[in-house]
Amino acid sequence: MTHPSLPTPLVSVRGLSKRFAGRPVLSDLSLDLDRGAVTAIIGPNGAGKTTLNKAILGLVRPDAGTIRFDGLDTAGRIDHRASIGYMPQLARYPETFTGRDVLSLLSELRGKGPERDESLIEAFELERFLDQPARALSGGQRQRINAAAAFLFAPQLLLLDEPTAGLDPVASGILKRAIRRVRDAGRAVVITSHILSELQELADTIVFLHEGRIGWQGAVPALLDATGASTLEEAIACLMQHGTLSGHGSVSA
């Protein structure tokens, strides 16, 4: 449920379109990312999920449309990035870097101003391997460092791409509790993941992308009701077969 005292969306996307090499990747896409809510972006490979995330980050310039962050148009600006914590599916940094190097570099880039959230550093027990070079770390250890880095500056928006991939059940549970804590604090969370059982557990809102367009947008219970499914996995399978459900998948401008 959206945080009742924070009705204004943190991010508003309207009419977003983007082509790569003449091929449409996003087509007239509109959506809101609410404060105090977890939004799951779901869709088959090539649906436009990564491009949407990068457009919100300001790493991809759309051909048309607007993205407003906290009420301000992001066109030609990058300062909103300081309010976003991004956890890519594969974070790439030099193999000689230690986890401490990564966190220190991020701290230097951000400066002393932002509030810090070091709860995941403690919960993941990162001190045990923060001084080991990346080449010596397992995939799960790297993923824990990536998660801690995304949460580190208490961002207003978390963009998490396959956040639990490579994590054991204990670490996955820690991360899910952290996501709920951020949501309950009135901040916005966006998750892209293929682990639909986890999304059913975490998400307040589902956005299903199909060929760069929104095929469904709404609450998880509404999607289950519309498809007659008992699980999110069954509901998404239905959407992937049909691409959209009539009467859903748009927001007003």
Q: What is the pLDDT of residue 241?
A: 82
For residue 4, the SS3 value is: coil
Q: What is the pLDDT of residue 12?
A: 97
The answer to whether residue 109 is domain-embedded is no
Number of domains forming the structure of the chain:
1
Question: pTM of the full predicted structure?
Answer: 0.89
The answer to whether residue 149 is domain-embedded is no
Q: What is the pLDDT of residue 167?
A: 93
User: Which structure tokens are listed for 131?
Assistant: 């001084």
Domain that holds residue 215: 1-77+159-165+188-245
The answer to whether residue 173 is domain-embedded is no
CATH classification at residue 58: 3.40.50.300
The answer to whether residue 125 is domain-embedded is no
Q: What is the gyration radius of the CA atoms in the chain, in angstroms?
A: 18
Residues 245 and 225 sit within 8 Å (Cβ to Cβ): no
Instruction: Please report the sign of the dihedral spanned by the C-alpha atoms of residue 31, residue 39, residue 213, residue 244.
Output: negative
The residue ranges of the chain whose pLDDT is under 70 are: 1-7, 111-114, 243-253
pLDDT tens for 7-37 read 689 999 999 999 999 999 999 999 999 999 9
The answer to whether residue 29 is domain-embedded is yes
The answer to whether residue 112 is domain-embedded is no
User: Who's near 204: CB < 8 A, 6+ residues apart?
Assistant: 1, 2, 34, 37, 38, 39, 183, 219, 220
Q: What is the pLDDT of residue 7?
A: 64
